[in-house]
Structure 1
Amino acid sequence: MTLTAREIEVVRIIVQAYIEHAAPVGSRYVAKQSTLKLSAASMRNIMADLTEKGYLHQPYTSAGRVPTDKAFRFYVDTVLSPALLPENTQQDIKEALGQAGLEFSNILEHASKLISAQSSQVGVAVAPKRSMIRLKRIDLVLVRTGLVMAIAIFNGGVVHNKLLPVEPKVTADDLVKYANYLNEKFQDRTIEEIKKDILQEMEQAENRFNALYAKALSLARDAFANNNDREVFLDGTLNVLDHLEGKDVSSMRDLLEFLEHRSSLLELVDKLASNEGLIVTFGTEFYGPELGQWGLISSPYQVQGQKLGVVGTIGPIHMDYSRLMPMVDTIAKMLSDLLESRFA
């Protein structure tokens, strides 16, 4: 429904008041904060109309109004002008990310902790699907007779190690030849693409009686088997206790259950991964009414134009979007820059 200028003003005041106080907002407060110069009675009429349109909710008779997720969606998409992140905060974030070390997993874990610390909410960092990221190189290292370590390095610095049994007669020199062949054949390909080609390549190698190629491809097949595990880093889950009152215990439990079942979170992240940038999603939109009091601010990180994963924060629906949206967006962009500089 199209809102009038008066209704937009009332939605703005009520949402901002609810973000600040997390309590129902009365008509007198709206009248005092508004530039419309209307009486409290007139404001009650406007608020009643907004309630009928689904933007406000009255928790009980004679109480003020509470904004619904529809009002928050309108506020975020239409009314809100996010504040610029102060330069000193940006510098603090950059320095903190720079201390994360070189391991990709450590960097993401650090990012989730940083987001949680900056937001006082749940920090989320999700690793990419290994099947969809591109191979930079593969190294094969002889651990001992009959045992090889396959080390696959992907764009963004993702490293996957796997121990593989081999024939006792395989030497370190053989492994160098295998790795050179595999890198020439599959460099800059995704695991998904590599898997499709391996069987065909193995058949061709066997037809040419090329034992070296066949053994190399066999090792690659085993190295990339079951390679779809994804890491999800969460920090600050107990912060939800600081934002909800005792009457909302069931809502808190629903959120913790959602976070515990990583498949639901990953399904959500996959839906968000196609977005070009920052996005705000509400619980009713990505899960259902059980998470109606929660929201997610997320933004993708990438290397060389390839989206790798998502970082974000989960908090109460009345979180401070004007501050947290630029914070999440800044961390995602700085994470992309860091990965680009170190691993591209």
Structure 2
Amino acid sequence: MRRDTRETSVMTAVIERYIRTGEPVASGSVARESRLGLSSASIRAIMAALTEKGYLEQPHVSAGRVPTAKAFRLYVDTLLAPRPLSKGQKEALVAALGVADADISQILRRASAVVASHSMQLGVVLAPRRGEMRWRTIEFSPVSANLVLAVLILDGGSVRTRMVAVQTAYSADELARFSNCLNSHFKGCTLAQARLRIETELELAEEKLEEMWRKALALSIPALDDSGAEREFFMDGIGQVSHTSAFADAGRLRELLSFMEERPKILDLLERTMASPDVSVSFIQGEYDATPWAVVSAPYAPREDKAPLGVVSAIGLLHMNYATVLPVVGAVAASVASVMRSRL
């Protein structure tokens, strides 16, 4: 469809009214509000043609038209003009993240809340894989003759603690020496790199290792163990979204609540959106009344030449206000990326 056609203009007017109201759009409403200079009869004929082409649908014989996912795809890709955020709005988003005194997990949790409050959709932020985080320092403390507390602090401030069973009691001085050795070797490594190096040393050269170094390596492994751990994500906004008119329909609300409980599905969805280098919009098919859901996402990376660590997303109904949501998601992702550059 050419951008300068009357069909395009009418379809844009229908979509934008549907975004505002969530109700089927009649030709008379478009004629009154669109300033296209077309009669209601002309607009009705154009809407009928758009329906035949799959851009509009008529839920009931007596109702107006509703844009389809095909129409929203064209609108988002070629017709939409997102409203850029002002400098003040961007500064307000950064301030809301509260980066000065927070660790990475706190910042990502706040980012999901910022997206939710500024977009009026679900805000969802995918955290980096644990193996991509970098080792800052590890400390060991004796708990009993058979237990040692391992505390691994990552760049960005995240903390991981593990209780490690030991066969030999260690003094606080011995554990401090273990910590110093490990930190001198692995500070700045990603957890995946550190784990690989530690396991390789233990497997290939265990007999040749100095006893203290072998014990230190063995103690560190449980702190790096992610077996059975799911990748983390943060979600916010269910309270405000569930009270909007879009979710007055109980069936649609149930579908939203059910979706929120399916962690594997959410993780798969977010990871698939990381492939896009910029803000992207994807649609997922809903089950209740077959209405698709929209996902607006933007990846964040520590540097432009590095692979993304995670993604910032807004998830909502097909007729979300994309002109507002896209700039918000992009700005929050850029702010998170800036934090990652400074922390990692």
TM-score tier by shorter-chain length is: 0.7 to 0.9
Contact 1:240 1:252 in 2 (8 A): yes
Contact 1:205 1:214 in 2 (8 A): no
In structure 2, runs of 5+ residues without a counterpart are none
Contact 1:251 1:293 in 2 (8 A): no
User: C-alpha distance in 2, partners of 1:62/1:4?
Assistant: 30
After the TM superposition, which segments of 4 or more aligned residues of structure 1 sit over 6 Å from their partners? 1-4, 287-291
- Secondary structure class of the residue paired with 1:250: helix
Matched, 1:258 2:259: yes
2:137 matched to which residue of 1?
138
2:94 matched to which residue of 1?
94
Cα separation, partners in 2 of 1:139 and 1:209, compared to 1, 3 Å = closer
Cα separation, partners in 2 of 1:244 and 1:57, compared to 1, 3 Å = same
Contact 1:24 1:66 in 2 (8 A): yes
1:298 matched to which residue of 2?
297
1:19 matched to which residue of 2?
19
What RMSD, in angstroms, separates the aligned Cα atoms of the two structures?
2.7
User: C-alpha distance in 2, partners of 1:98/1:317?
Assistant: 31
Contact 1:129 1:308 in 2 (8 A): yes
Give how far 1:98 is off: 2.1
Matches within 5 A, 1:1-344: 5-34=5-34, 37-98=37-98, 101-131=101-131, 133-146=132-145, 147-226=147-226, 228-238=229-239, 239-244=241-246, 246=248, 248-284=249-285, 292-304=291-303, 305=306, 307-341=308-342, 343-344=343-344
Contact 2:97 2:110 in 1 (8 A): yes
- Secondary structure class of the residue paired with 2:83: coil
Structure 1 letter corresponding to 2:138: D
Cα separation, partners in 2 of 1:40 and 1:251, compared to 1, 3 Å = same
User: C-alpha distance in 1, partners of 2:281/2:334?
Assistant: 16
Contact 1:297 1:313 in 2 (8 A): yes
In structure 1, runs of 5+ residues without a counterpart are none
Give how far 1:302 is off: 2.9
User: C-alpha distance in 1, partners of 2:290/2:162?
Assistant: 39
The answer to which of 219-228 and 64-73 deviates more is: 219-228
Contact 1:126 1:311 in 2 (8 A): yes
User: C-alpha distance in 1, partners of 2:233/2:327?
Assistant: 22
Cα separation, partners in 2 of 1:226 and 1:170, compared to 1, 3 Å = same
Cα separation, partners in 2 of 1:73 and 1:273, compared to 1, 3 Å = same
Cα separation, partners in 2 of 1:115 and 1:336, compared to 1, 3 Å = same
User: C-alpha distance in 1, partners of 2:189/2:332?
Assistant: 28
User: C-alpha distance in 1, partners of 2:302/2:135?
Assistant: 12
Give how far 1:117 is off: 1.9
TM-score by length of 2: 0.87
Matched residue count:
339
Q: Deviations over 1:27-56 (max 9, x none)?
A: 233334456544333322322222122211
Structure 2 letter corresponding to 1:264: K
* Percent identical residues: 37
TM-score by length of 1: 0.87
User: C-alpha distance in 2, partners of 1:93/1:50?
Assistant: 39
User: C-alpha distance in 2, partners of 1:337/1:171?
Assistant: 42
Give how far 1:121 is off: 2.6
- Secondary structure class of the residue paired with 1:110: helix
User: C-alpha distance in 2, partners of 1:307/1:188?
Assistant: 18
User: C-alpha distance in 2, partners of 1:202/1:83?
Assistant: 56
Give how far 1:293 is off: 4.3
Give how far 1:65 is off: 0.7
Cα separation, partners in 2 of 1:204 and 1:173, compared to 1, 3 Å = farther
